[in-house]
């Protein structure tokens, strides 16, 4: 599976950073396709693997599986009989995403159609 993320704990060196700063690990994991989206889609409550997959615009199960594994290892989500769901920590991250969502809406509102250049 060529796991590029054998790491589990927050304080550890990751690709592109040996500072050991927890944020770097987070930036590294979140800076992968679908990670942020998965967290976002999990806000509404627990989801089965397949349901989650649908919500995420039919991500390939390969990647979804990888992301869920990483997020579980980081203790942000967990898997139970009723599918995947957020842990306490994960929920806190989710709140930040909610905040980001609000900001994004206002941001889009503000700059409306005045985008840069229209090819």
Output 48 or 99, the one with its CB closest to a copy of itself. 99
Site for a copy of itself (CB under 8 A): which residue of 5, 10, 43, 91?
A: 10
* Using rule CB under 8 A, residue 99 touches a copy of itself: yes
* Using rule CB under 7 A, residue 60 touches DNA: yes
* Using rule CB under 8 A, residue 89 touches a copy of itself: yes
DSSP conformation class of 80: E
Rounded Cα distance, 30 and 11, in Å: 16
Rounded Cα distance, 85 and 103, in Å: 25
**Helix then strand then coil, % of the chain, to nearest 5:** 50, 10, 40
How many Cβ atoms from other residues are within 10 Å of residue 2's Cβ?
4
Beta-bridged to residue 77, according to DSSP, are: 86
Site for DNA (CB under 7 A): which residue of 6, 44, 45, 58?
A: 58
Cβ at position 108, least distance to a copy of itself in Å = 3
- Residues in contact with DNA by CB under 7 A are 1-2, 4, 15-16, 32-34, 48-51, 58-63, 65-66, 68, 79, 83-84
């Amino acid at each position: 599976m060529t796991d590029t993320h054998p790491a589990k704990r927050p304080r550890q060196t990751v690709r592109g950073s040996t500072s050991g700063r927890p944020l770097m690990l987070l930036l590294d994991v979140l800076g992968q396709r679908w990670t942020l989206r998965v967290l976002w889609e999990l806000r509404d409550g627990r989801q089965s693997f397949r349901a989650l997959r649908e919500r995420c615009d039919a991500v390939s199960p390969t990647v979804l599986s990888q992301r869920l594994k990483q997020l579980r290892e980081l203790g942000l989500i967990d898997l139970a009989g009723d599918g995947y769901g957020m842990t306490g920590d994960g929920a806190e991250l989710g709140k930040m995403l909610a905040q980001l969502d609000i900001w994004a809406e206002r941001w889009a509102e503000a700059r409306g159609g005045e985008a840069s250049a229209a090819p």
